[in-house]
Structure 1
């Protein structure tokens, strides 16, 4: 191991071993859960600014010290409970919620508020804690220097299935279409003539995208079905951050603390358009000035054209963008800012854990307004006005913000160094000199249309087909008419359009279906490692839509799981489980929480499964099953 890896390994080992040892020293010592607000007020009163900047995970590296201190703290608070108005004890999460539930409160619904805030101080934000026959081909010159061409093949693959293709040169016969490349002169965007603007159109069946030939920047996007046009331009900017703890707040793995607003990094942009019968790729290269040899950023925008006979709804309705960012200069944080003429009022929407959309209104603060208006984007963010919505779907999590009306910016890369001793000891400075290539899909349209598109598009981005390739082994190539679709067993698995097969796996443990028996076996030491049970499959099926999102797709869905899974084998038994798979759902006694908005309504749906293996999945519901197949 390197020294940094060794130190992190020792750090992690000390955390886990010391926690286990200290938990075993007293029965009262469980995982800690407390009424947070009382402790926050207490901490605000006695902690120094230096203490508050350390971050909670940096305080628990020595469990013996932590539990000893916590023993003293709990004892002190309980002896002065009349003064503080609270008593505390060690508790599991289950103990805590049982105590809260027994109080029989009526709760306000938080709507778009977070359970825990992302900004807790005046100067800091914990940003980082957070198919058909192969008749359609396209070959084009590669945007990357290590290859001559990129090969694009349009395929259509059903659920849990695969296709095999043989690709070889045919000396011009039925050969792939070779994309045509047109390169445009690099433009100085600081001296662009705004009066005599020339616009370059790129069109598919869903969108027309215009590029300003005076700047080589994107100018606008028109959604062709509604003929709605949105002025839109994109630019890369960088936040400069401090690396000296003696001079103020720093940015590191955990924190984002920019010195000021982001600054533009490119003064010149090059443009190349590669067009083919499947796709048009627009390549923009961003240079620090008009004479620079190497670009510092790049955007590859791809628009797809789907031939007749294919379902190209998702493919056509996305504008795919891949970025090249880095290597950055030290203490720089790079963002892509998309500016539109949508009147958004600086209201941003982001997904929470990839599941629920939350409003993120811009708020002005006395200190560090930029960072305190950054939020995590797990996969989805969007801005909108009264009629039109612009959505961004990402393949990985990013920080996002709306720093101006009609704007959305995405953090793409960070390169940081500071002299905080803790960060240096554990290699947490994030001195990353790499080049990153994140991918984001843009979807533009009415709210009704984007509501439908972004759920399934998000799944398509998250679960892109795995491509395996290698040299042919000498087998005779199949003709297009002989190609067959293959699935794991028989027929492919296809779910209704508003459902998602979230989990389909063999559990890696021989967990008893009876949770009480399982816990008893563990406690008496009879739990043994065993082989996985290949006749039992863990299945989770999820409803993609919220109530009211779409008049059809938001409705409950009935699905016959035996019929759905027939391609995998004959389903004999269906056993519904809790979300984790731990408990038989029929043994659960679900709590119903009273809310001010719906005082008599509980938040639990029926979990009944009919005898013919038919289940109903309600909006945003996830249902979990053990599926037992007939032995082979």
Structure 2
């Protein structure tokens, strides 16, 4: 749903049931949140998008993307109205940016992971008129600010840095590479929170929270689902995730997001 993990799609095929082809076009269209690619043994063709679109590969060696869909008449498929979006009396116009890359399959992940992140997190530039010269303005207001003292590894992204109160902060980090997709970055990565966030103070307590930060991870109890054979489908070890001052190192596994509440001196 959030465009992080990529799912493989095979034309006219479903992995969990026998698929009957009734809609050869729409049945092979899938959501494209951030990227789509096709590959063979020694080549991969990747397209990065700047918005959610529809995508398909209806012919071998091809990719097609649907940026926007507009129908002037009802298609009689149950909606009861035409899918005709308009603005100011005119048909809605949608434009997007697409970035194309052809590379080896084993090195393509490095491109699409990092560049897709840069595309999604690109800065929004705004402008305003001020009744002052730049020299006066820059002397009164801070122009740049960063809580990071050290650089994060290329496969780690700071999702959230929020201040609870004077002494406590919320930090959420993600490892946005998948397992086995890159020979360098698809592995567990260790970072030191103290060295990275040294600018906000000396950390004397780290407490790991659930993803939504409303419960201590050690207090979370997951449901244990039983299969048809009365076997546990998932067994989770909810060990205590509290670190002392001497242990501000954390490890992030591929595709893992971890949330922490840190307390500073």
Aligned to 1:623: 258
Matched, 1:499 2:153: no
C-alpha spacing 1:593/1:566, structure 2 compared with 1 (3 Å): farther
Task: For 2:79 and 2:186, locate their aligned partners in 1 and report how far apart those are by CA, in whole Å.
Answer: 49
Match of 2:16 in 1: none
**Hey, what does 1:396 align to over in structure 2?**
51
**Highest relative contact order (Cα 8 Å, sep 6+), 1 or 2?**
2
Give the CA deviation at 1:583: 1.4
CA contact (8 A) 2:217 2:238 kept: no
Deviation at 1:580, TM superposition (A): 1.5
What SS does the corresponding residue of 1:466 show, helix, strand or coil? coil
Inter-CA distance 559–395: structure 2 relative to 1 (3 Å threshold): same
Q: Gaps spanning 5+ residues in structure 2: where?
A: 14-19, 137-141
Q: Max radius of gyration: which structure?
A: 1
Pairing partner for 2:29 from 367, 370, 374: 374
The 5-angstrom pairing of residues 345-364 of structure 1 reads 353-363=2-12
2:217 matched to which residue of 1?
Answer: 585
The question of whether the paired residues in 1 share the 8 Å contact of 2:44 and 2:103 is answered with yes
- In 2, Cα distance between equivalents of 1:475 and 1:582: 43
TM-score, length basis structure 1: 0.35
Asked if 1:548 corresponds to 2:180, the answer is: yes
- The alpha-carbon distance between structure 1 residues 543 and 609, as it changes in their structure 2 partners (threshold 3 A), is farther
Shift of 1:553: 1.4
Matching of residues 448-487 of structure 1 within 5 Å: 448-471=106-129, 473-476=132-135, 486-487=144-145
Quick one: which of 573, 576, 588 aligns to 2:205? 573
Q: What number of residue pairs does the alignment pair up?
A: 243
Q: Alpha-carbon deviation of 1:501?
A: 1.1
Distance 1:579 1:362, change over 3 A: same
Correspondences of 1:60-459 after superposition (within 5 Å): 353-363=2-12, 366-418=21-73, 429-432=83-86, 433-459=91-117
Name the CA distance, whole Å, in 2 between partners of 1:585 and 1:552: 29
The structure whose residues are more often helix, as a share, is: 1
For 2:57 and 2:237, locate their aligned partners in 1 and report how far apart those are by CA, in whole Å: 36
Counterpart Cα distance in 2 of 1:437 and 1:569? 45
Q: Residues of 2 paired with 1:606 and 1:391: CA distance?
A: 40
Q: Is the 8 A contact 1:417 1:431 kept in 2?
A: no
Q: Residues 607 and 550 of structure 1: is their aligned pair in 2 closer, same or farther, counting only changes over 3 Å?
A: farther
Secondary structure of 1:391 counterpart: strand
- Once the two structures are superposed, what CA deviation does each residue of 1:558-585 show, in whole Å capped at 9, x if it has no partner? 2111221122344343211111112111
**What is the distance in 2 between the residues matched to 1:606 and 1:544?**
24
Cα gap change, 1:399/1:607 in structure 2, threshold over 3 Å: closer, same or farther? farther
1:218-251 per-residue CA deviation (whole Å, 9 max, x = no partner) reads xxxxxxxxxxxxxxxxxxxxxxxxxxxxxxxxxx
CA shift in 2, pair 1:609/1:395, >3 Å = farther
Q: Distance in 2 between matches of 1:582 and 1:608?
A: 15
Aligned-residue RMSD, C-alpha: 3.4
What is the deviation of 1:493?
5.5
Q: How many angstroms apart in 1 are the aligned matches of 2:226 and 2:240?
A: 21
- Structure 1: where are the runs of 5+ without partners? 1-351, 478-483, 507-531
> Paired residue for 1:113?
none
Q: Deviations over 1:333-374 (max 9, x none)?
A: xxxxxxxxxxxxxxxxxxx53122212111185532111110
- What CA distance in whole angstroms lies between the structure 2 residues aligned with 1:609 and 1:551? 31
Change (3 A) 1:609 1:492: same
Shift of 1:617: 1.3
